[in-house]
Structure 1
């Protein structure tokens, strides 16, 4: 049974600026058993990942409609996963692991295109940063509402 999608949630990988990350690594962090250093989740936390070079990689199949089917659920924001799609950019921390907007020019452009296209197709779905759903988190290390206004999205 699918649920109507209510949120597109923007995340960062919380990794140091300039360090690329593979989908294999992020999948292992999320789905490996806790005994092997993972979180033991059934599914990776994000549908799509924006690499440093701006390439957007699909991590979980998606039928691109306005519903979240059980097979599309990713584990990006506790309490919101069955009604959300999650996108993550690689980075989000400085070299000392403090939160920092580390998006490269290519990531900024790719994320902008992704979000604008998503909003055009699904204007009823709210676009938020992870920290807006789970206060106390810095993720995605930038002010999503201010950025949305900058790129011409009013919610």
Structure 2
């Protein structure tokens, strides 16, 4: 068990307007590599923000400031034991290749409410984008700039 140090925001890197299901994520992450998956034991994210703003829990946690072994998801290598990872459906332009902030108004509203509540409960936990941990475009928007715009100072 480790102390929670960061909330990492991700995108699914799917085309704008394409919905993603929990089953999709589970297949992408846990299917064997021979079947197109990554062969992980666990999915990469705790919560999924659907296009309509619905938030779906993918991996249960006890909502405290510790990361128990059964709560660890595979969102960013080297950081999983001290992080919670969340993801929104989207993050690519319609071509499926170009990074783009495709959050729908409903996703933006849901993510803002989630992050504000999370920050209220865990003010010492840093909120970051996946691109702050790895050379990736994910989550296809500047999380630090967005946090300032919604009144969160870290």
Question: Shorter chain as normaliser: what TM range?
Answer: over 0.9
2:85 partner SS: strand
> Which residue in 2 is equivalent to 1:106?
106
Question: What is the alpha-carbon root mean square deviation over aligned residues?
Answer: 0.4
Task: Tell me the TM-score normalised to structure 1 length.
Answer: 0.98
Aligned residues: 153
Measured after TM superposition, the shift of residue 103 of structure 1 is 0.1
1:86 partner SS: strand
1:110 partner SS: helix
> Which residue in 1 is equivalent to 2:122?
122
CA distance in 2 between partners of 1:105 and 1:4 (Å)? 33
CA distance in 1 between partners of 2:25 and 2:42 (Å)? 11
CA distance in 2 between partners of 1:57 and 1:65 (Å)? 18
Gaps of 5+ in 2: none
> Which residue in 2 is equivalent to 1:131?
131
Measured after TM superposition, the shift of residue 95 of structure 1 is 1.2
1:10 aligns with 2:44: no
Task: Tell me the TM-score normalised to structure 2 length.
Answer: 0.99
Gaps of 5+ in 1: none
CA distance in 2 between partners of 1:105 and 1:69 (Å)? 33
CA distance in 2 between partners of 1:149 and 1:103 (Å)? 17
- Extract structure 1 runs of 4+ deviating beyond 6 A: none
